[in-house]
A and B are shown apart, each in its own frame.
Chain A
Amino acid sequence: MSKANQTPENKFSVRKLLSHPVMSYLLAILAAFVASGIFIALMGYDPFKAFQTILVTSFRTPNGFIQTLLKWVPLTLLALAFTVPYATMKFNIGGEGQLLMGAIGATIAGILLKGLPPILMVPAVLLAGTLAGAIWGFIPGWLLYRYKINEILTTVLLNFVTFALVNYIATEVYPNPEVGHPTTIRIATEGWLPMLVDNPPLHSGLILMVMVAIGVYAFTNRSTRGYELVATGANPRAAGVFGINVPVMFMMGLVIGGALAGLAGGIEVAGIQHHLIEGMHSNFKILGIIIGLIAKGSSLAVPFVAFFIAVMEVGASAMQRTLNIPIEMVYIVEALILLFVLLVDVVRRK
C-alpha cells in the first residue's frame, strides 16, 4: 500500500528538481565536471587540483579578476550576437567574422579620424565597429530575404572573407612593419577607451557591455518588436498570418546580431589592442555560440553563463601554466556542460 503511494511521490520530486532552471544547470555542470574529471584522472593528472585552478584563479588575484572581466565583455556580446537572431530561429555562425569586421571598422576609424577630441573619437570608433558588424549581419540577412539563401552557410562563408580582409589591411593598407606578425599601425590615442582601473588595466567597455546587455534584454523581452522577433521564431507561419513581417524579422535579428559582435570587436580594438592584429578572434572562436546555446537563447541568462565561461577560460590558462594540463581540456568541459544542459531537457520531458 505505502509502496504504491511512494513511487509517484519520489518521481515527482526528482522531476521537480530538474524542472527548476538553476538546479538543472547546477546538475549539468556537476555532471560535466565529474565526466571530465574522470578523463583528467585517466590522463594522469589530479582532477581536483585542475578544477580548483580553473575555478579559483579568477578570484585569487586582482589581475585574475580583471582578466576575467576583460574576457567577459566580448564573450557576452558575442553570445548575444548569437541569441538575438536565434530568437527568430536563425543561426548566426558568423560572430567571429562580425567581430573582426568590427575591429576593422574601429581600426580604420581610429586611424583616419586622428585629431578629433576623445569625446567624439571614442564614440566614433565604437560606432564604426558596430556599423561594420551590422553590415556583416545585413549581408546574410539580405541574401536570406531576397534569395532565401541559408544564413548558416553565408555567415560561415563571410568568416573566411573577413580573415582574408584582416590580413590584407594588416599587411597592405596600414601595415606596421616593426612587428613580425600582420598587424596595423596603432589607432590615435584619442580613440582609446577611458580606463576604469589603470593597473592592472581595465577599460570602460565593461560598463558599455553591461548597458548593452540590459538593452538587449529589454528589447527582446519587453519591446513590441522583440515580441515579434520571438513570435517569428516560435512559428514563422503563424506570425506571418497574424501580420508580422517575417522576412524583415529574420533580417533584423541578423543585423542586430552583427552589430553586437561588431561592437565587441570595436571594444577589443579601442580598449585592449589599439590596433588590428591578425588572429585576434582566436581567443573567442565559437564560444559565443556555445554560451548562447547553454543559455538556451535567453538574453537574461547570457551574461551569467558568459561570466562563468570567462572564469573557466582564465582558469584554463593558469591550469596549463601550473599543472601542464592542455588548455583544450577546458573546451571539453564546456562542451560537456552544453551536452548535459540539453540532456536534462530531454530527461525532463517525459
Chain B
Amino acid sequence: MEQNEVILQMVDICKAFDGNQALDHVNFELGAREIHGLLGGNGAGKTTLMNVLYGLYKQDSGDILLKGKKLRIASPRDAIRNGIGMVHQHFLQINNWSVVQNVVLGSSVQNKWTMNLAPEVAKLQKLCDRFAIDIDLQVEVGELPMGTRQKVEILKALYRGVDILILDEPTTNLTPQEVDALFVSLKVMVDEGLSIVFITHKLREVLSVCDRITLLRNGKNVTCMPRSEANEETLVRGMVGEDLNVKDSVIFSKEIREGTKIDEVVTPVLEVKGLRHVTEQGIERLKDVTFSIHPGEIFGIAGVAGNGQLELAETLVGVQSKAGGTIKYNGRELNMVTAELLQQGLTYIPEDRLGDGYLPKVNVAQNLILGAQHKQPYSKNGFIDWRKVFEASWEMIKEYNIKTSGPKDTAANLSGGNIQRVMIARAFSHVGDSLMLAHCPTRGLDIPSMDFVYKKLLARKMQGYATLLISEDLDELLLLCDRIGVMYRGELVGILHRSQFDKYEIGRMMSGVKS
C-alpha cells in the first residue's frame, strides 16, 4: 500500500485523572483514507485518547494537528465542526424516536422549527445507499437490534459530514454477519475519502480491515505497525507484555476436552419445560423452550442476537414474566415471582452491563455487592459492614485485575472492559450455591481477561456447578460448553452434545434449519 498523506497527528498527549496517568506522552497518527486500528488491554487508554480528540476531555499537555495545523478542540461540537465524529462504546439514543429523529437530533437542521424531516430523510437515504448501510429510517430505534442501532450512530456522524470517524469497539455487540456488513461499509467510506479509527479487542478483525495498528499499554505507546508486519502473536505480546502465558491459556490451548457425561439419575440443577414468553404487544418471543442443566455442566445457548436469548435470560432472572411452562430448580418448581431464582442462589452476568448491571454514580464497592447486599459477611442485622465490604472489594479488585484506584472510586470512571470485570468479579465471588447465568460474559474484555473468565468457568464446572452460557461468540461456546442449544426465533431448534459439535452445522441451525 502506498504511503498516504497524514491528515491527523496527536503529539505527546498526556491526561491524568486524579493522579492516575491515563495517557502518558501518547502519539497517534492517522493517514487519509486509512483504517487505523487502536489496540490495547482494558484500561490502556484507548477511549480516553479518542475522547481527547473528540473534545470530551481536555488533554493536560500535547498537541492535536489536523492537516498540519494546530487545533484546539474544546467540545464535541468543535470536533464535528472540524470533521471529526465518534461512535461511543456505550452510546445514548432516544428509544421512542425514529431513526431520522435520532440522527437529526442536535444537528443544525434548516427546518429546526417546523421539524419537517422529509428533506433530511432523502439526504439520509442517499447516504445509506452510498455507504452500503441497510437501515429503515422510520422505525423507532428502541425496536432495533444492537447492530442496527450502531449503524444509526455511524449515520449520525456521516450526516454531520465528518471525514474522520472514530469507532470505539463497534463490533462488541454485533453478530458475525453484521460485522461483515460493517466492514463492507467501512471499505466504502475509505474509498470515498474518509479516515477511520477502529478500536477493538478482536485480533481477527484488526488483521482483516486495518491498514495500520497502534498499540497502547498502560497509557503508553508500544508500537505502530502496518498490517503486513502484524500477526496474532505479535499483537498479543505487544498488548499484554509477558502477562499472558500462552501455554497455560484456554484460548490458545490445543487440548481436546470431552463433554461431561450426564448422569440421568441426578436431578438437574435447572429444568426448563415448555417455557413461553409473550411481550406486552402480544409478540411471542419464547416458544416452548425445553432444556435442562446438570451439575458440572456448561450448557450453551447459541444464536444470532435477538432470537430470544435476552427474553430467556430475563424470564429466568424474573425481570420478565413467563406466559407458560415450568421452571424447576434442584427439582423444585418455582413460581418465578420477583427474582425468586436470584434469591435461591442464581448468579447473573447481564448482557447489557451498563443498563442492567451497573450503578455508575456510586462507588466500585457498592457495585461489587449489588445483589449480595443481604448476604453474610456483607450484611448483619440489617446493616452493611462496610469494612468487610471494602476488604472483600480490595480482594476482588486484585483477583479480577480491575483497573481502579480502589473500592471508593466512582464507578463511572472505569473503562468499558473494567466495568465488565466488575460484572465478572461480582458473579464469581458471591457464588450462589449452584447456578450461574452468564450472558455474553466476555464482551469488551481483552484477551488475557477473556482467558481468565474461561478458566473461571471451567473451574466452576470442575467443582460440579452448573452454568448457562448464552453467547453470540460461537468459538467461545465451542471451547467451553458440554452441550449447545441453538436458538432461532424464540425456539430451541436443536441441542447438540460436545461430540456432535460442528461449526457449520450450528451455523446452519442458527439460520433456522432444523437438525
- Which residues of A line the B interface, CB within 8 A? 4, 7-8, 11-12, 16, 19, 218, 222-225, 227-228, 230-231, 233-235, 237-243, 245, 350
Whether the pair B361, A234 counts as a contact (CB closer than 8 A) is yes
Whether the pair A230, B362 counts as a contact (CB closer than 8 A) is yes
Whether the pair A224, B384 counts as a contact (CB closer than 8 A) is yes
- CB of B459 within 8 Å of the partner chain: no
CA distance A60 to B383 in the complex (A): 43
Known contacts being A227-B366, A242-B357, is A11 close to B383, with CB within 8 Å? no
Shortest beta-carbon contacts, A-B, top 10: A234-B359, A242-B371, A8-B60, A243-B339, A243-B342, A241-B356, A8-B61, A234-B361, A224-B379, A234-B362
Extra pairs beyond A242-B371, A243-B343 (14, CB < 8 Å):
A8-B14, A222-B383, A222-B384, A222-B386, A224-B382, A225-B382, A235-B360, A240-B319, A241-B317, A241-B348, A241-B356, A242-B342, A242-B357, A243-B339
List residues 379-399 of chain B with CB under 8 A from any CB of chain A.
379, 382-384, 386
Q: Which of A16, A223, A245 contacts B383 (CB 8 A)?
A: A223
CB-based nearest B residue for A19: B18
Task: Please name all residues of chain B whose beta carbon is closer than 8 Å to the beta carbon of A227 when the two chains form the complex.
Answer: 366, 369, 373, 384
| Cross-chain pairs A/B with CB under 8 angstroms, 17 sampled | A223-B382, A224-B379, A227-B384, A234-B360, A234-B366, A235-B360, A237-B355, A238-B350, A238-B355, A238-B357, A240-B319, A241-B350, A242-B348, A242-B357, A242-B371, A243-B338, A243-B342
Q: Which of A218, A222, A235, A241 contacts B319 (CB 8 A)?
A: A241
Whether the pair A238, B382 counts as a contact (CB closer than 8 A) is no
Task: Please name all residues of chain A whose beta carbon is closer than 8 Å to the beta carbon of B386 when the two chains form the complex.
Answer: 222
CB-based nearest B residue for A225: B382
Task: Please name all residues of chain A whose beta carbon is closer than 8 Å to the beta carbon of B131 when the two chains form the complex.
Answer: none
CB-based nearest A residue for B355: A237
Whether the pair A224, B383 counts as a contact (CB closer than 8 A) is yes
Whether the pair A235, B384 counts as a contact (CB closer than 8 A) is no
CA distance A224 to B357 in the complex (A): 18
Q: How far is the CB of A297 from chain B (nearest CB, A)?
A: 10
Whether the pair A231, B366 counts as a contact (CB closer than 8 A) is yes
Whether the pair A231, B61 counts as a contact (CB closer than 8 A) is no
CB-based nearest A residue for B374: A224
Task: Please name all residues of chain B whose beta carbon is closer than 8 Å to the beta carbon of A231 when the two chains form the complex.
Answer: 359, 362, 366, 370, 373
CB-based nearest A residue for B369: A227
Known contacts being A222-B383, A234-B359, is A4 close to B57, with CB within 8 Å? no
CA distance A102 to B370 in the complex (A): 36
Q: Which of B60, B342, B350, B371 contacts A7 (CB 8 A)?
A: B60
Known contacts being A7-B61, A242-B342, is A223 close to B384, with CB within 8 Å? yes
Known contacts being A224-B373, A231-B370, is A238 close to B58, with CB within 8 Å? no
- CB of B334 within 8 Å of the partner chain: no
Whether the pair A242, B382 counts as a contact (CB closer than 8 A) is no
Whether the pair A8, B359 counts as a contact (CB closer than 8 A) is no
Task: Please name all residues of chain B whose beta carbon is closer than 8 Å to the beta carbon of A16 when the two chains form the complex.
Answer: 18
B interface size (C-beta, 8 A):
36
Task: Please name all residues of chain A whose beta carbon is closer than 8 Å to the beta carbon of B357 when the two chains form the complex.
Answer: 238, 241-242
CA distance A245 to B342 in the complex (A): 13
- CB of B16 within 8 Å of the partner chain: yes
Interface string of B366-378 (1 = CB under 8 A from A): 1001110110000
CA distance A224 to B370 in the complex (A): 11
Whether the pair A235, B358 counts as a contact (CB closer than 8 A) is yes
Task: Please name all residues of chain A whose beta carbon is closer than 8 Å to the beta carbon of B361 when the two chains form the complex.
Answer: 233-235
Task: Please name all residues of chain B whose beta carbon is closer than 8 Å to the beta carbon of A11 when the two chains form the complex.
Answer: 60
Task: Please name all residues of chain A whose beta carbon is closer than 8 Å to the beta carbon of B379 when the two chains form the complex.
Answer: 224
Task: Please name all residues of chain A whose beta carbon is closer than 8 Å to the beta carbon of B319 when the two chains form the complex.
Answer: 240-241
CA distance A12 to B14 in the complex (A): 12
Task: Please name all residues of chain A whose beta carbon is closer than 8 Å to the beta carbon of B350 when the two chains form the complex.
Answer: 238, 241
CA distance A255 to B15 in the complex (A): 45
Q: How far is the CB of A75 from chain B (nearest CB, A)?
A: 26
Task: Please name all residues of chain B whose beta carbon is closer than 8 Å to the beta carbon of A4 when the two chains form the complex.
Answer: 61
CB-based nearest A residue for B362: A234
Task: Please name all residues of chain B whose beta carbon is closer than 8 Å to the beta carbon of A233 when the two chains form the complex.
Answer: 361
CA distance A230 to B314 in the complex (A): 23
CA distance A19 to B386 in the complex (A): 24
Residue among A228, A245, A350 with most chain B CB within 10 A: A350
Task: Please name all residues of chain A whose beta carbon is closer than 8 Å to the beta carbon of B373 when the two chains form the complex.
Answer: 224, 227-228, 231
Task: Please name all residues of chain B whose beta carbon is closer than 8 Å to the beta carbon of A19 when the two chains form the complex.
Answer: 18
Interface string of B307-332 (1 = CB under 8 A from A): 00000001001110000000000000
Task: Please name all residues of chain B whose beta carbon is closer than 8 Å to the beta carbon of A241 when the two chains form the complex.
Answer: 314, 317, 319, 348, 350, 356-357
Q: How far is the CB of A80 from chain B (nearest CB, A)?
A: 19
CA distance A74 to B426 in the complex (A): 42
Whether the pair A235, B60 counts as a contact (CB closer than 8 A) is no
Task: Please name all residues of chain B whose beta carbon is closer than 8 Å to the beta carbon of A225 when the two chains form the complex.
Answer: 382
Known contacts being A11-B60, A12-B16, A230-B366, is A237 close to B356, with CB within 8 Å? yes
Residue among B317, B350, B370, B386 with most chain A CB within 10 A: B370
Q: How far is the CB of B21 from chain A (nearest CB, A)?
A: 10
Interface string of B51-65 (1 = CB under 8 A from A): 000000110110000
CA distance A19 to B361 in the complex (A): 16
Q: How far is the CB of B330 from chain A (nearest CB, A)?
A: 19
Q: How far is the CB of A64 from chain B (nearest CB, A)?
A: 39
CA distance A350 to B54 in the complex (A): 12
Q: How far is the CB of B441 from chain A (nearest CB, A)?
A: 15
Task: Please name all residues of chain B whose beta carbon is closer than 8 Å to the beta carbon of A240 when the two chains form the complex.
Answer: 319
Task: Please name all residues of chain A whose beta carbon is closer than 8 Å to the beta carbon of B16 when the two chains form the complex.
Answer: 8, 12
Whether the pair A242, B370 counts as a contact (CB closer than 8 A) is yes
CB-based nearest A residue for B317: A241
CA distance A224 to B18 in the complex (A): 30
List residues 277-327 of chain B with CB under 8 A from any CB of chain A.
314, 317-319
Q: How far is the CB of B55 from chain A (nearest CB, A)?
A: 10
Q: Which of B314, B360, B371 contacts A243 (CB 8 A)?
A: B371
Task: Please name all residues of chain B whose beta carbon is closer than 8 Å to the beta carbon of A245 when the two chains form the complex.
Answer: 338
Known contacts being A222-B386, A243-B338, A245-B338, is A238 close to B61, with CB within 8 Å? no
CB-based nearest A residue for B313: A241
CA distance A350 to B359 in the complex (A): 21
Q: How far is the CB of B15 from chain A (nearest CB, A)?
A: 9
Q: How far is the CB of B337 from chain A (nearest CB, A)?
A: 11
Q: How far is the CB of A252 from chain B (nearest CB, A)?
A: 14
Q: How far is the CB of B424 from chain A (nearest CB, A)?
A: 15
Task: Please name all residues of chain A whose beta carbon is closer than 8 Å to the beta carbon of B339 when the two chains form the complex.
Answer: 242-243
Whether the pair A235, B359 counts as a contact (CB closer than 8 A) is yes
Task: Please name all residues of chain A whose beta carbon is closer than 8 Å to the beta carbon of B348 when the two chains form the complex.
Answer: 241-242
Q: How far is the CB of A87 from chain B (nearest CB, A)?
A: 10
Task: Please name all residues of chain A whose beta carbon is closer than 8 Å to the beta carbon of B383 when the two chains form the complex.
Answer: 218, 222-224
CA distance A231 to B358 in the complex (A): 9
CA distance A348 to B358 in the complex (A): 23
CB-based nearest B residue for A11: B60
Task: Please name all residues of chain B whose beta carbon is closer than 8 Å to the beta carbon of A242 when the two chains form the complex.
Answer: 339, 342, 348, 357, 370-371
Task: Please name all residues of chain B whose beta carbon is closer than 8 Å to the beta carbon of A234 when the two chains form the complex.
Answer: 359-362, 366
Whether the pair A350, B57 counts as a contact (CB closer than 8 A) is yes
CB-based nearest B residue for A223: B383
CA distance A7 to B58 in the complex (A): 12
Task: Please name all residues of chain A whose beta carbon is closer than 8 Å to the beta carbon of B358 when the two chains form the complex.
Answer: 235, 238
Q: How far is the CB of B486 from chain A (nearest CB, A)?
A: 26
Residue among A19, A235, A240 with most chain B CB within 10 A: A235
Task: Please name all residues of chain A whose beta carbon is closer than 8 Å to the beta carbon of B342 when the two chains form the complex.
Answer: 242-243
CA distance A11 to B383 in the complex (A): 41
Q: How far is the CB of A231 from chain B (nearest CB, A)?
A: 6
